[in-house]
Structure 1
Amino acid sequence: MLKELSTEGFSTPSSPFQPGPFPMLQWVEVQKLVVDPEYQREMSRRGVSNVRRISENFDWSKFAPVIVAPVEGGRFAVVDGQHRTTAAMLRGIESVPCQVVQADRAKQAEAFAAVNGHVTKTTPQQLFHARLTAGDPQAKELAEVCAAAEVFITRRNLVQAKMRKGQTQAVGALRRCLDGHGRDTLITALQCITQTGDGNPGWVRATVVEALCEVLGENVHWRDAGGALLQAMDNFDFTEAWDEAMSGRNFILAPAVQHELAERLRKHLTKALKPAKAKAA
């Protein structure tokens, strides 16, 4: 359902309202665009990668107007949009849409800092949901896996203690596990959390999921044990295992904690599933 924009919950700004001259929107030839090295950053390796990504997937619906300011010689200094303009040039595009602002060099630098320093960070979860809405095949595949295990990727960051059954923000770890271990292993690993005990709210964590996938990936007969596996995991205390894995550590060292959790899971399942395995044999 679409929502209207609202200022509800915001207070009226107390600072004087001095927005400056109205900007103009116009198409500007890329040959007239220049970069001022006094405030613009050098294009880093990450920037080069970003330009390539934009160029490979160029789409006007993803191209925000470039912010520029008039300078001498009928040219325009790029305040924001160096990467996407370079990507457009790689596609042979000769003009790009620009928001032309009236600003001297100091004001340009101030605008550059404001645009690039006060950006609301987009979380991996928000990007996942955006890609899912856009029909991205990888996002759809991950969503299907999560649905099979009653797992829900949150749209914003939540405090672990307030998370409900199946909620997670570990979208990166889920993608890694899906790519590295496959659908069956990841679904079963997630079910070991959400379909055992009280549903283990807050425990669909990156380190826990990766440890489970490691153990079940190495022991396919456990992964395929069905109800016997979930019954065995009913008696696994994630809180206790986590606390013991963290014991003596002043900070979370993910690989070490993951290894410790994997060892505890392996010992627990070896003991719990030994009778079932012997009976099946």
Structure 2
Amino acid sequence: MQDNIRPIAPISIASVTPHQPSTGMPICELVSPTDLFVDPAYQRDVSERGLNQIRRIIEKFDWAKFKPPVCAYAELNGNTVLKVLDGQHTAIAAASNPYVDRIPVMIVEAEDTIAQANAFIGHNTDRLGVTKLQLHQAALAAADEDAQTLELVCARANIKVLKQPGSYKRDGARETIAVTSIKALIERQGSKVAREVLEVIANAEMGPITAPQIKAVELLMVEPKYRDMITPEDLTTAIVDLLFSAEDEAKQLVLSHKWPFWKALAITWFGKCKKRRQPLVRVA
């Protein structure tokens, strides 16, 4: 007989302020997996990697390892349906397995898209398989102010934030998936400077816009020893003139100077950029 099991016991909460749940407890129901729905406003499309994961779940389907999908009731064309907030792959695997006709699901209170998107973010923020881009799209659906600011800054710079990687049009000019870098740029420099930085890259019509490019232009537009010697227009011209050869030159600087790639790219562009004889006088 096993004698080393232990009961669940509360910990000290002396330094913690408990939060009283604003909704009721979840309920558990048995449903057909094909009766479930996915909302693209905050749920990602299933990628090839996701399809492989689904196939593995089907091949090794085991109720002992089953984690019920988390769902919420929603209205669709006058009917009440269940939307999957977490567990899309599990639900698809169950729907694809001929030996499974019903599955248990946990149903939570999330009455509108904003509440559902917030629930999705809560389930997936620390999950490795969910990208920052997917979380940004979910935050946008949840009316998150930071996500809305990011979209507004990009829109004013005439840049489109894509909903998923690999969906660039033609050369990817004025398109990006670098939401983490743009968010950090806005936090460091504010919306106005962030827009100006992004405009420099966007006006070069060279895409897609990447994280190293953003950080490189930020350095040149913010650091006085660079900023006061160039104009945004001249920097855009330098980027256009060098095109992709700038990346090759930057890689050589990375090797010779042990610089991070974004800094090497900035120095490469600055070297090509037209300089002013007198430092520019900027109005605060």
TM-score (norm. length: structure 2): 0.51
Root-mean-square deviation (Å):
4.2
Note if 1:98 corresponds to 2:28: yes
Contact 1:151 1:166 in 2 (8 A): yes
Cα separation, 2, equivalents of 1:231 and 1:166: 18
Bigger CA radius of gyration: 1
Q: Offset of 1:180 from its aligned partner? A: 1.4
Aligned to 1:230: 233
How many residues align? The count is: 181
Distance change >3 Å, CA 136–CA 161, structure 1 → 2? closer
Note if 1:259 corresponds to 2:189: no
Aligned to 1:149: 157
Q: Offset of 1:244 from its aligned partner? A: 1.8
Aligned to 1:210: 215
Contact 2:238 2:272 in 1 (8 A): no
Indicate the percent of aligned positions where both proteins have the same amino acid: 18
Q: Offset of 1:229 from its aligned partner? A: 2.3
Residue among 234, 239, 244 paired with 2:244: 239
- Superposed CA deviations along residues 210-254 of structure 1, whole A, max 9, x for unmatched, are 1111221113983897xx42134213224111122224989xx9x
Distance change >3 Å, CA 58–CA 175, structure 1 → 2? farther
- Superposed CA deviations along residues 79-121 of structure 1, whole A, max 9, x for unmatched, are xxxxxxxxxxxxxx6x4312469xxxx9433324999795694
Cα separation, 1, equivalents of 2:203 and 2:263: 23
Q: Offset of 1:57 from its aligned partner? A: 10
Contact 1:232 1:273 in 2 (8 A): no
Cα separation, 1, equivalents of 2:130 and 2:161: 15
* SS of equivalent to 2:26: strand
Aligned to 1:274: 276
Contact 2:181 2:214 in 1 (8 A): yes
Q: Which runs of 5+ in 1 are unaligned?
A: 1-36, 38-51, 61-92
Q: Offset of 1:258 from its aligned partner? A: 1.2
TM-score (norm. length: structure 1): 0.51
More helix by share: 1
Distance change >3 Å, CA 56–CA 240, structure 1 → 2? farther
Aligned to 1:182: 190
Cα separation, 2, equivalents of 1:128 and 1:57: 27
Letter in 1 for 2:276: K
